[in-house]
Amino acid sequence: MNPESAADGGRVVALVPAAGRGVRLGQSTPKAFVQVGGTSMLRRAVDGLVESGVVDDVVVMVPDEFVGATAELLPPGVRIVVGGAERIDSVRAGITASPDADIYLVHDAARALTPPALIARIVAELRCGRAAVVPALEVADTIKSVDIMGGVTGTPKRAELRAIQTPQGFDAALLRRAYESAGPGDAATDDAGLVERLGERVRTIPGEPLAFKITTPLDLLLADAVVGARES
Ligand code: C5P
């Protein structure tokens, strides 16, 4: 999209995993293709990345049978790659497809309303020399760990907990190394987790409530209401 950038501090490639089946949303369409305010989540997520003005290339990972439909949904220039069985497999496919990246952003399609300013803040931190940066929000609920029978095994201090969002930003060599050390189908739920396993420091910056992940029917209602309120 922007061939100039390699000269001014490195090429930023956004990887958008959108190959999930999304059963928790209660719809037959894969989650990323469900509409929010008349536009698919995937299109909204990609538009946010483009509007941030800090992304050079966007690579989306989708289920193989959705490659054709995705090309019709997205602006020209966005690359479309077949995703994998688990989120980690989808991100790995995106990394393999973009070996020229200097910085990777990994951004869930399901965080469709993420403000472009948050995306720009993550890239600004990476450009200042940080190697791994993620958006984080304080948690309102008390979080407990439980065993398989539902018995409580612990109550971590709430003040030390954060809910982590995307985009997660990484020095490209570091993210490649993290994925090389992870097995196929690894159960990691985010990319920063793989980097932490290498012993590397991951920094947080303040996240944005609007970067919430649209996962349940209630989330979808909220997202529709946000878009409706913006447009009225
Ligand atoms: O399932 P979950 O909400 O954690 O998925 C987060 C993101 O990862 C979604 O955007 C989903 O489409 C994507 N994903 C993927 N490939 C999978 C599973 C999930 O790209 N196999």
Whole-number Å distance between alpha carbons of 178 and 140: 31
Query: What integer pLDDT is reported at residue 6 of this predicted model?
Result: 42
* Ligand 1 centroid distance, CA of 23 (Å): 11
* Residue 202 DSSP class: -
pLDDT of 142-182, one tens digit each?
999 999 999 999 999 999 999 999 999 999 999 999 999 99
Residues 6+ apart with CB under 8 A from 50: 1, 58, 75
Nearest atom of ligand 1 to the alpha carbon of 111:
10
Whole-number Å distance between alpha carbons of 140 and 111: 19
Query: What integer pLDDT is reported at residue 23 of this predicted model?
Result: 67
Q: Which residue has the tokens 């969002």?
A: 165
Query: What integer pLDDT is reported at residue 24 of this predicted model?
Result: 72
Identify which has the larger pLDDT, 185 or 205. Answer: 205
Residue nearest to atom 4 of ligand 1 (CA): 189
- Hey, which of 89, 90, 105 would you mutate to test ligand 1's pocket, going by the most ligand atoms within 8 Å of its Cβ? 90
Query: What integer pLDDT is reported at residue 27 of this predicted model?
Result: 74
* Ligand 1 centroid distance, CA of 93 (Å): 13
Per-residue pLDDT, averaged over 54-76, amounts to 96
* Residue 25 DSSP class: G
Query: What integer pLDDT is reported at residue 21 of this predicted model?
Result: 76
Parallel, antiparallel, or unpaired: how do β-strands 152-154 and 145-146 relate? antiparallel
pLDDT of 1-58, one tens digit each?
554 454 467 999 999 999 987 667 777 788 899 999 999 999 999 999 999 999 999 9
- Hey, which of 43, 59, 108 would you mutate to test ligand 1's pocket, going by the most ligand atoms within 8 Å of its Cβ? 108
For residue 87, the Cα-to-chain-centroid distance in whole angstroms is 10
Nearest atom of ligand 1 to the alpha carbon of 85:
21
For residue 163, the Cα-to-chain-centroid distance in whole angstroms is 14
Total count of domains within the chain: 1
Neighbours of 149 (CB within 10 A): 5
39, 48 Cβ separation under 8 angstroms: no
Query: What integer pLDDT is reported at residue 187 of this predicted model?
Result: 76
CATH number at residue 22: 3.90.550.10
* Ligand 1 centroid distance, CA of 232 (Å): 31
Residues with CB under 6 A from ligand 1: 17-20, 31-32, 61, 83-87, 90, 108-110, 213, 215
- Phi (first) and psi of residue 39, to 5 degrees: -130, 140
Residues 6+ apart with CB under 8 A from 19: 30, 32, 61, 62, 63, 82, 83, 84, 87, 90
The number of CA neighbours under 13 Å toward the Cβ of 160 is 4
Domain with 144 in it: 5-231
pLDDT of 80-111, one tens digit each?
999 998 899 999 999 999 999 999 999 999 99
